[in-house]
Amino acid sequence: MKPTIGITCDFDWESGIFQLKPGYVEGVYRSGGVPVLIPPLSCSEDSDSRLDATGEIINRIHGLLLSGGQDVHPSYFGEQPHTAIGRVNPLRDQMELSLCLQAVKAGLPVFGICRGAQLLNIALGGDIYQDIASQSGEKGLICHNQPAPKWFGFHDVRVREGSRLHQILGTDKLSVNSFHHQAVRRLAPVLKPAAAAADGVIEAVESDNRPFLIGVQWHPECMLDDPYMLKLFEAFVQAAGDVEGGSHGR
């Protein structure tokens, strides 16, 4: 069987609609995975039943894709909201942090994109800049919110030699799109930096003792015609295929 990839999606509380941009589904599908959307389940009075649902979902998938979206509430890394914080979605935060932890515990491949990369770092004990421009103290910041089409590689990143990311991509330098005002600050103990922009902003994180645990700050799902971006999805789906095939003990 082909591996099933659970993709987290957004809930727009104003319109009451679950939503996801199609590139995430397309990237998984093009890489031979079976994409299924995971909605953020609403908070119930009985929080145990919600956590059970999360566990049931984890039991049914072979890989978890954490999609992009709003800012994670800073209470999850012990801070109050900064004045420059963007929209926050409490339903997504709770559900995705729980899914992420359980997926890692179960040894599933996890691929975090943009918010997903930040959430991965927070879930595992790291933190983020709530707003790079006002918090990083970096004078030579480059533009991370591109005034250009989403598919356009806007700034370069350096891929760390010896990293899993480097192994997958086979390149030191990558041109990526950029739509973020937050970024990983203190790395979670199990994560290492895998790529950085010229200003030092961490653009990718990974764990090297896991089948596939990678977060990227850019949006590869908007650049699927770029062979490097498709390679990322392919490596993720392949790792999920190993789980499906039973070589990771499931």
Please identify every residue annotated as catalytic. 114, 219, 221
CB of 138 vs Mn ion, minimal distance in Å: 13
Residue corresponding to tokens 């119930």: 44
Nearer to Mn ion, 99 or 169 (CB): 169
Cα atoms in the Cβ-side hemisphere of radius 13 Å centred on 100: 27
Nearer to Mn ion, 99 or 120 (CB): 120
Q: d(Cα 226, Cα 197) in Å, to the nearest integer?
A: 19
Tokens of 192: 């290492």
| DSSP label of 39 | P
Q: Is 37 exposed, middle or buried (0-12, 13-18, 19+ CB in 10 A)?
A: middle
Nearer to Mn ion, 102 or 178 (CB): 178
Question: Three-state SS for 188?
Answer: coil
Residues in contact with Mn ion by CB under 5 A are 144, 178
CB of 180 vs Mn ion, minimal distance in Å: 6
CB of 218 vs Mn ion, minimal distance in Å: 6
CB of 23 vs Mn ion, minimal distance in Å: 17
Cα atoms in the Cβ-side hemisphere of radius 13 Å centred on 139: 0
Give residue number: closest CB to Mn ion: 178
Question: Is the CB of residue 200 less than 8 Å from the CB of residue 138?
Answer: yes
Nearer to Mn ion, 7 or 216 (CB): 216
Residue corresponding to tokens 């086979």: 170
CB of 4 vs Mn ion, minimal distance in Å: 30
* C-alpha distances in Å from residue 187, one per residue of 28, 121, 124, 125: 27, 6, 9, 8
Nearer to Mn ion, 164 or 180 (CB): 180
Q: Is 121 exposed, middle or buried (0-12, 13-18, 19+ CB in 10 A)?
A: buried
Question: Is the CB of residue 9 less than 8 Å from the CB of residue 37?
Answer: yes
